[in-house]
Amino acid sequence: MENISFQVKINAAKEKVWNCLWDLIYYQTWTSVFAEISTVITDNWKEGSKIFFVDHSGNGMVSKILCNKENGTMTFQHLGMIKDGIEDTTSDEMKTWSGATESYHVVEHEGTTTLSASLDSNEQMKDFFSSTFPLALEKVKGLAEGTVKPIITVIATVNAPVSKVWENWTKPEHITKWNQANDDWHCPASNNDVKTGGKFSTTMAAIDGSFSFEFGGDYNEVKENEMIAATLGDGRMWKTYFKPNGNTTTVIERFEAEAMNSLELQQGGWQAILNNFKKYTETN
C-alpha cells in the first residue's frame, strides 16, 4: 500500500469547507466524481462508529470513523465490503487492503482554507485515485466558493416493472395524474417529447387558481427504461435513472439546486412528488 495525498486552497472559512465535505447533499455532490449514484450511511459521523459508503442498492464499502475533530480532521479506516446486507472483512481479497486509511484536514489562514486529503492505495487503484481526487477537491472548492451548484438526490423504489414505471413517468396522460407534491397542487397539462433533443413542458398549478408555473426544458440524452438527462429552462441539470430488479424499479433523480429555496425544501418537494409517482404507479 502507498499513501498518496492531494491538496487545494479554498477562498472560504474552514467551517464552510467542513460543511461542504460532510453535509449529505454536498457530500453526494463532490463524491459523484468517484461514482455518480452513491451515498453514505452514517451515525451522524460519530467518531468510533461504523460508516457505509454504498450505491443505491446498499452495496459498497464498510469502514470505521477513526477521527472526527470538527472543522479539523476526519479519518476513516476501511474494513471491507458489504453486499446484500452481508459484511465481508475477512476474506483473502479483503485482507489485501483492509485497514487502509483515508484522511481529510482543513486549516484556515487569513480567510483561505487549505484542504488536504490522503489515503492508502494499492497499485491497482492508484491511477484512478490520482485522476479523480483532484477533481473531487475542486468540486469541494467550487461548493464552498459558490461556483458549483449542489446536486440534490431523491430516491424511491417502486413495486412495478421498469416498463410500467417508464410509461407512467413519460406519458403525459399519466404525468398529469401524479406530478404534484401535495393535494393543494395539481398538474393540468403536460407535453413530453421523450427523445434525445426533445422538449418537455408541464404546468404546475395551485388548486385554488392562485398561482401556476411552467416546468420544462430540453432532453440531452434518453435511453428507454434506463435514464433521462435533461437541461431545465433555467439551465440546471436534471438526471433520472431507472434501476430494475425483477418486478421492482428504483427511480433516482439528481438535479442541480436553485438558489431561491433552501436545499432541504427543494429535496422535500421533489421527494414528495416522487413518492406520489410511486403511489400512483403501484395503485393504477
Same domain, 158 and 139: no
Same domain, 100 and 121: yes
Same domain, 141 and 156: no
Q: What is the pLDDT of residues 210-235, one digit of tens each?
A: 999 999 999 999 999 999 999 999 99
Same domain, 125 and 175: no
Please say which residue of 116, 145, 174 terminates a domain.
145
pLDDT band at 85 (very low <50, low <70, confident <90, very high): confident
pLDDT at position 193: 97
Same domain, 7 and 82: yes
pLDDT at position 55: 86
pLDDT at position 38: 86
Same domain, 122 and 140: yes
Q: What is the pLDDT of residues 182-205, one digit of tens each?
A: 999 999 999 999 999 999 999 999
123 against 5, higher pLDDT: 5
Please say which residue of 145, 174, 197 terminates a domain.
145
Q: At what angle do helices 162-170 and 263-283 cross, to 10 degrees?
A: 120
Q: What is the pLDDT of residues 101-134, one digit of tens each?
A: 999 999 999 999 999 999 999 888 899 999 999 9
pLDDT band at 97 (very low <50, low <70, confident <90, very high): confident
For the residues 241-246, what does the mean pLDDT come to? 95
pLDDT at position 249: 97
Burial 159-189 (b: 16+ CB within 10 A, else e): ebebebbbebbbebebbbbbbbbeeebebee
Q: What is the pLDDT of residues 253-275, one digit of tens each?
A: 999 999 999 999 999 999 999 99
Total domains in the fold of the chain: 2
Same domain, 129 and 159: no
CA separation for the pair 137, 219 (Å, rounded): 29
pTM, 2 dp: 0.90
pLDDT at position 11: 98
Same domain, 109 and 163: no
Same domain, 202 and 233: yes
Residue 159 sits in which domain range?
A: 151-283
For the residues 57-77, what does the mean pLDDT come to? 95
C-alpha cell at 148: 458549483
pLDDT band at 47 (very low <50, low <70, confident <90, very high): very high
Same domain, 140 and 158: no
CB 66 within 8 Å of CB 78: no
Same domain, 12 and 141: yes
71 against 36, higher pLDDT: 71
Same domain, 183 and 138: no
Hey, what long-range contacts does 121-130 have (CB within 8 A, 24 or more apart)?
Answer: 121/1, 121/2, 121/3, 121/4, 122/1, 122/2, 122/96, 122/97, 123/2, 126/2, 126/4, 129/4, 130/4
Please say which residue of 145, 169, 187 terminates a domain.
145
Q: Which CATH number does the domain housing residue 9 bear? A: 3.30.530.20
pLDDT at position 1: 86
Mean residue pLDDT of the chain comes to 95
pLDDT band at 93 (very low <50, low <70, confident <90, very high): confident
The partner residues of 63 in beta bridges, in order of sequence, read 51, 78
